[in-house]
Amino acid sequence: MGLAAFGPALTSSGVTGQVVQALDLADGLGPTTFDACSPLTNAGAVNGNIALVDRGTCGFPVKARNAQDAGALAVLVANNVAGSPPPGLGGIDPTITIPTVSITQADANTIKANLATGVDASLLLDLSVRAGADPVGNRAFLYTPNPVAPGSTISHWDQSAFPNQLMEPAINADLTHSVQPPEDLTLPLFRDVGWFVDANLNGIPDDVELTALSSQVWIGLKNSDDVGTRFDLLAEALKNGVVVGSGQINNVPGGSSGFNNAAQRAIAMAVSTATGLVSGDVLGFRLSARIGATGHRSGTARLWFNDAAANSRLIATIGGVASTFYLRDGFVLGTSPGTGPKKTIDVTVDRAKNGNAFKAFGTWSILNRRSDLGISSP
Ligand SMILES: [Ca+2]
Ligand SMILES: [Ca+2]
Ligand SMILES: [Ca+2]
């Protein structure tokens, strides 16, 4: 359908009625009896129904006004040339109070062929379908006029899109300077066809790029007998199980047993591999310990997590947005602290065993489901 610049807009409740061919005189105002350029001669039939009129000779508001004067609920303007989409209806008449739309010549011919048996129509705004998108997949329609318009066909959005889009066939007065939703689809379209912003020229789209890491972890001891034990702590960030950043602090005191004697340790981390995190990727955090250079030879380190006090966490900046991911029970990272009770994991390490290799408390993970990591696209 083509919409009219005059008269009321269609509503979601709409107008329903029987379609009736409007008839007028074949006269100097309009040469056919279907053009509604003169007052209608079948007002009795049109009254309370939807008037069907032909395009041509006089302005669209004239036709609408004559139909309105005959008591029509709404007006269908049949295009007088083949092709789609049917035209928008220009013109001004503030006295028109019924909706008017245009339809293709083909649709009009179908309706006309069935008028004898009765055609009921509803003109309404379907709020369940986005303007310019297909009702099933909610995908924007491309511009596919009939006949083909070289230079415009396929390379534009369909003009039924609303709000009007920059890449519609014609420039509309309501365009803004924004090229992002909700005003415009240009930026998502460029993303869809493979373009992205990459100001640091590393091949990773900046809006999903991991650019900074840090962590804060609560470390204590399992047993007070181990007081005097020091640990090296290794924090690693992983994407889909592969380390993409890390940081280490050395020879930090283990405190003592009980959460009151644990200490929050800040571990600065650096991104080691240029990394983007998109929907479906898994962000992981692994914390490991070994015996520090001084102090006891062995001891059991205790990691505290899973509540607002024992809020061990990873901070990751993705797409320019810093987000905090809390270590929670079940080895999941959450965007809020765990609700308790406090959880602990112990790791026993010994400077004289296994070359004092780092031993992991565990790996905590979160699946990026589009918005979990503060990422808006893709
Ligand atoms: Ca006429
Ligand atoms: Ca439009
Ligand atoms: Ca980049």
pLDDT digits (tens, 9 = 90+) for 7-37: 999 999 999 999 999 999 999 999 999 999 9
Indicate if 133 and 25 belong to the same structural domain. no
Residue 201 lies in a domain: no
- Domain annotation covers residue 178: yes
Clarify whether residues 138 and 96 are in a common domain: no
| Ligand 2 geometric centre to CA of 153 (Å) | 15
Q: Is the pLDDT of residue 378 over 50?
A: no
Query: Is residue 224 located within the same domain as residue 319?
Result: yes
pLDDT digits (tens, 9 = 90+) for 261-293: 999 999 999 999 999 998 899 999 999 999 999
Q: Beta 359-367 vs 100-103: how paired, if at all? A: unpaired
Give the distance (Å) from ligand 2 centre to CA of residue 142: 12
Residue 377 alpha carbon to ligand 3 centre in Å: 14
166: tokens are 């920059």
- Phi first, then psi: give them for residue 349, nearest 5 degrees: -130, 155
> Which residues, by Cβ under 5 Å, contact ligand 3, an ion?
198, 200, 202, 204, 206, 209
Residue numbers of the domain that contains 65: 2-123
Question: Does any domain span residue 154?
Answer: yes
378 in a domain, yes or no? no
Distance 215 CA to ligand 2 centre (A): 49
Cα 89 to ligand 2 centroid, rounded to whole Å: 14
Whether 350 shows a pLDDT value over 60: the answer reads yes
Same domain (yes/no): 161, 281: no
Q: How far is the CA of 195 from the centre of ligand 3 (A)?
A: 12
For 69-102, what is each residue's pLDDT tens digit?
A: 999 999 999 999 999 889 899 999 999 999 999 9
17: CATH: 3.50.30.30
pLDDT at 245 > cutoff 90 = yes
Distance 207 CA to ligand 3 centre (A): 8
Q: In the prediction, which pLDDT does 193 show?
A: 85
Q: What is the pLDDT of residue 182?
A: 86
Query: Does residue 242 lie within any of the structural domains?
Result: yes
With a cut of 90, say whether residue 374 has pLDDT above it.
Answer: no
Residues 329 and 217 in one domain: yes
| pLDDT value of residue 375 | 46
Residues 219 and 289 in one domain: yes
Is the same domain home to 115 and 213?
Answer: no
- For 92-116, b/e burial (b = at least 16 CB within 10 A) is ebeebebbbbbbbbebbeebbeeee
Sorted by sequence, the CB contacts under 8 Å of residue 272 that are 6+ apart come out as: 243, 244, 245, 246
Q: Which pLDDT does position 282 carry in this prediction?
A: 95
Measure 204 CA to ligand 3 centroid, in angstroms.
4
Q: Residue 187 — pLDDT band, cuts 50, 70, 90? A: confident
pLDDT at 278: 87
Report how far residue 316's alpha carbon sits from residue 306's, in angstroms, rounded to the nearest whole number.
Answer: 18
User: What tens digit of pLDDT does each residue of 289-348 get?
Assistant: 999 999 999 999 999 999 999 999 999 999 999 999 999 999 999 999 999 999 999 999
- Residue at 357 is within a domain: yes
Question: Ligand 1 centroid to 345 CA: how many Å?
Answer: 89
Q: Which ligand is nearest to the Cα of residue 34, counting in written order?
A: 1
State the average pLDDT for the chain.
94
CB 372 within 8 A of CB 336: no
In order of 42, 43, 45, 179, the CA distances from 152 in angstroms are 42, 42, 43, 19
Task: Note whether 140 and 273 are same-domain residues.
Answer: no
The CA 35 to ligand 2 mean position distance, Å, reads 28
Do 44 and 136 have their domain in common?
Answer: no
Q: In terms of Cα–Cα distance, which of 49, 81, 62 is closest to 4?
A: 62
In a domain, 262, yes or no: yes
Please count the structural domains in the chain. 3
Kindly state the tokens that stand for 318. Answer: 């993705």
Place 138 in a pLDDT band, splitting at 50, 70 and 90.
Answer: confident
Decide if pLDDT at 372 tops 70: no
| Token duo for residue 50 | 């939807």
User: Residue 160 C-alpha to ligand 2 middle, in angstroms?
Assistant: 4
Relative to the alpha carbon of 2, which ligand is closest? 2
Of 73, 93, 123, which residue is a domain's last?
A: 123
Same domain, 51 and 191: no
- What pLDDT, on a 0 to 100 scale, did the predictor assign at position 370? 56
pTM more than 0.85: no
Instruction: Please identify every residue whose CB atom is under 5 Å from ligand 2, which is an ion.
Output: 159, 161-162, 164
Q: List 212's β-bridge partners, or say none.
A: 317
Residues 217 and 362 in one domain: yes
Tell me, in angstroms, the distance from the centre of ligand 3 to residue 208's CA: 8
Q: Which ligand is nearest to the CA of 23?
A: 1
Percentage of residues in the chain with pLDDT exceeding 70?
97
In this predicted structure, the answer to whether residue 189 has a pLDDT above a threshold of 80 is yes
The residue from 75, 99, 123 where one domain ends is: 123
Out of 104, 123, 142, a domain closes at: 123
Whether residue 373 is contained in a domain is answered as no
- 162 Cα: distance to centroid of ligand 2 (angstroms): 5
Query: Do 57 and 89 belong together in one domain?
Result: yes
Token output for 127: 């709020």
